[in-house]
């Protein structure tokens, strides 16, 4: 099936919830509520025991539906799922998200047999499956939302897509992103992935104009799927960055993953090599994962490796210098022409070396003047602005200039703020304007490094092995 084949999952015009119920606390109710709240298409509940559910006409069976639904969401006990897929196939529906658990993940022969039966029926009737044993899709643009975790706050609409091998982590991360105001396009958790898997989803999101950065949480691929993933990832990486968090990296962690989704976590060293070859950026911790996503979302590519630091705090400038140098960045000595210009506009006690230190008596004006100079220069590949807003002279007007200059010169500008209310407010304003803000010099350096790695991948172009 082509990539467009998945569009029925993400942009259906009509959906059926098999197992819809008015009973409080049931998955079939939570899902129906989600669709009623945000989905603009036609919604059909199916349940043999009801004529009406949550104010919608309920159908006794799939056969009785007044039209062929584009997408089916299935939340009924595992032994009944295959029969429902057969009926959907007969009706003409080609896409189903199977939420139900009780399949191979149980580790029982019965569960495995039910899963094999499901795969066979789906194939016979040409029905594509996401799941089973999954939380499914949260699509922030179409309103397809099978995340049955009603207490999860929905993040704002945006451009980060998330593919997760863990359903619980997917919902937790959505909640976290909602709290941090990071916009999401679509999130998918595919559970036992008997059919649609990472490879196809990656291709789909690669073509998706609402998605700018793809984040993946992976425990392991199925046997023999690695090469296809690499090919897909290479193609997609040329268009938009893919950030991967690979769990099960240690021998102990691998074991936990193997019993988790009945997938082998595989040999981490081999995964690392594969990611590198495919241009995929690897995050090594939760913090790094979100830092990399944020920087890639907001920043243009880096043309080179030269970073300038502009600070009002000498100490933080030194910390940043260490962190950036350790990450492999070049912090050039201020060239003579720039030095001359800086000396002309700054008071004599300011330090014009890189880090350029405006010192604690700075005002917004100094930041603005120096940033103007740095932004224009072709020998500056990224600027790190340290704005500790606790100093009395800073009123905050520099924020708008930072945002304006970043847009105007299309150069990466990131910021570091440390502190409480004023710092948080400054950070919020910068962040809203597309200037990525960090609290920790080390995390900033690592994230910038990921931006640099991705920029290099894009500029080198693709040199695939023969």
Partner 1 sequence: MSPKDIIRQALEENRIKLLEHEAFELARYYGIPTPKAVLVKSPEEAHETADSIGYPIALKIVSPDITHKSDVGGVKLGLMNREEAAKSVAEMLKTVSTKVPQARIVGVVMYKMAPAGLEVIVGGIRDSVFGAAVMFGLGGIFVEVLKDVSFRISPVSYGEALEMIEEIKSARILGGYRGQPPVDKQALADIIVKTSNLLLDNEEIESVDLNPVIVYPQGAVAVDVRVILKKG
Give the tokens for residue 371: 């940033």
Q: Does 251 engage in binding with partner 1 (CB under 8 A)?
A: no
Piece of 72-80, 272-280, 386-394, 404-412 that binds partner 1 (CB under 8 A): 272-280
Site string for partner 1, 446-465 (x = CB under 8 A): -----------------xxx
Give the tokens for residue 397: 């007007």
Site string for partner 1, 165-204 (x = CB under 8 A): ----------------------------------------
DSSP 144-175: -B----TTSPPPPEEEEEEEES-HHHHHHHHH
Q: Does 273 engage in binding with partner 1 (CB under 8 A)?
A: yes
Residue number, 176 or 268, with CB nearest to partner 1:
268
Q: Does 466 engage in binding with partner 1 (CB under 8 A)?
A: yes
User: How many Cα atoms sit within 13 Å of 206 on the Cβ side?
Assistant: 19
Q: Cα separations (Å) of 428 from 97, 287, 425?
A: 38, 18, 5
Q: Does 253 engage in binding with partner 1 (CB under 8 A)?
A: no
Least distance in Å: CB of 132 to partner 1? 22
List binders of partner 1 among 223-242 (CB under 8 A). 223-227, 230
With a CB cutoff of 8 Å and minimum separation 6, the contacts of 423 are 388, 389, 390, 417
Pick from 108, 259, 277, 343: which binds partner 1 (CB under 8 A)? 277
Alpha-carbon Rg for the chain, nearest whole angstrom, is 26
Residue number, 269 or 333, with CB nearest to partner 1:
269
Least distance in Å: CB of 168 to partner 1? 24
How many Cβ atoms from other residues are within 10 Å of residue 344's Cβ? 8
Least distance in Å: CB of 289 to partner 1? 22
With a CB cutoff of 8 Å and minimum separation 6, the contacts of 466 are none
Residue number, 150 or 277, with CB nearest to partner 1:
277
**Binding residue count for partner 1, defined by CB under 8 A:** 24
Q: Does 300 engage in binding with partner 1 (CB under 8 A)?
A: no
C-alpha 411/C-alpha 382 separation (Å) is: 6
Least distance in Å: CB of 276 to partner 1? 8
C-alpha 142/C-alpha 164 separation (Å) is: 19
Piece of 50-58, 265-273, 330-338, 384-392 that binds partner 1 (CB under 8 A): 265-273
The answer to whether the beta carbons of residues 310 and 367 sit under 8 Å apart is yes
Name which of 316, 324, 319, 320 is nearest 388 in CA terms: 316
Name which of 207, 212, 197 is nearest 161 in CA terms: 212
Pick from 270, 315, 347, 361: which binds partner 1 (CB under 8 A)? 270
Residue number, 272 or 404, with CB nearest to partner 1:
272
Least distance in Å: CB of 185 to partner 1? 28
Residues that bind partner 1 in the complex, under the rule CB under 8 A:
220-227, 230, 264, 266-267, 269-274, 276-277, 463-466
């Amino acid at each position: 099936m082509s990539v467009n084949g998945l569009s029925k999952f993400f942009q259906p015009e009509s959906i059926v919830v098999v197992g819809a119920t008015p009973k409080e606390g049931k998955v079939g109710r939570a899902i129906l509520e989600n669709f009623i709240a945000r989905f603009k298409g036609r919604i059909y509940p199916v349940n043999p025991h009801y004529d009406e559910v949550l104010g919608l006409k309920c159908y006794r069976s799939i056969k009785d539906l007044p039209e062929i639904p584009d997408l089916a969401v299935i939340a009924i006990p595992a032994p009944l799922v295959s029969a429902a897929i057969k009926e959907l196939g007969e009706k003409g529906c080609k896409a189903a998200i199977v939420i139900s658990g009780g399949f191979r993940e149980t580790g029982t022969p019965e569960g495995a047999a039910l899963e094999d039966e499901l795969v066979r029926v789906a194939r016979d009737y040409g029905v594509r499956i996401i799941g089973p044993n999954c939380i499914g899709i949260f699509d922030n643009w179409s309103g397809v939302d099978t995340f049955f975790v009603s207490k999860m706050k929905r993040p704002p609409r945006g451009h980060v897509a998330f593919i997760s091998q863990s359903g619980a982590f997917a919902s937790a991360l959505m909640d976290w992103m909602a709290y941090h105001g990071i916009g999401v396009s679509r999130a998918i958790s595919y559970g036992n992935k008997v059919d649609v898997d990472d490879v196809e989803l990656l291709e789909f999101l690669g073509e998706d104009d609402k998605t700018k950065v793809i984040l993946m949480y992976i425990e392991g691929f199925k046997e023999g799927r690695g090469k296809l993933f690499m090919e897909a990832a290479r193609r997609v990486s040329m268009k938009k960055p893919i950030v991967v968090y690979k769990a099960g990296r240690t021998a102990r962690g691998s074991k936990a993953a193997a019993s988790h989704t009945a997938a082998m976590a595989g040999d981490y060293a081999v995964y690392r090599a594969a990611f590198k070859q495919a241009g995929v950026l690897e995050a090594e911790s939760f913090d790094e994962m979100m830092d990399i996503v944020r920087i890639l979302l907001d920043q243009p590519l880096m043309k080179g490796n030269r970073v300038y630091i502009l600070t009002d705090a000498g100490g933080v400038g030194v910390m940043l210098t260490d962190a950036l140098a350790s990450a492999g960045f070049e912090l050039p000595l201020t060239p003579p022409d720039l030095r001359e210009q800086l000396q002309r506009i700054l008071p004599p006690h300011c330090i014009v070396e890189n880090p350029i230190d405006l010192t604690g008596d700075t005002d917004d004006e100094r930041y603005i003047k120096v940033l103007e100079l740095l932004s224009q220069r072709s020998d500056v590949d990224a600027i790190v602005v340290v704005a500790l807003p606790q100093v009395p002279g800073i009123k905050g007007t520099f924020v708008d200039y930072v945002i304006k200059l970043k847009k105007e010169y299309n150069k990466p500008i990131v910021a570091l703020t440390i502190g409480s209310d004023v710092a948080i407010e400054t950070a919020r304003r910068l962040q809203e304007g597309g200037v990525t803000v960090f609290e920790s010099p080390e995390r900033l350096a690592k994230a910038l490094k990921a931006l640099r790695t991705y920029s290099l991948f894009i500029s080198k172009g693709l040199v695939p092995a023969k």
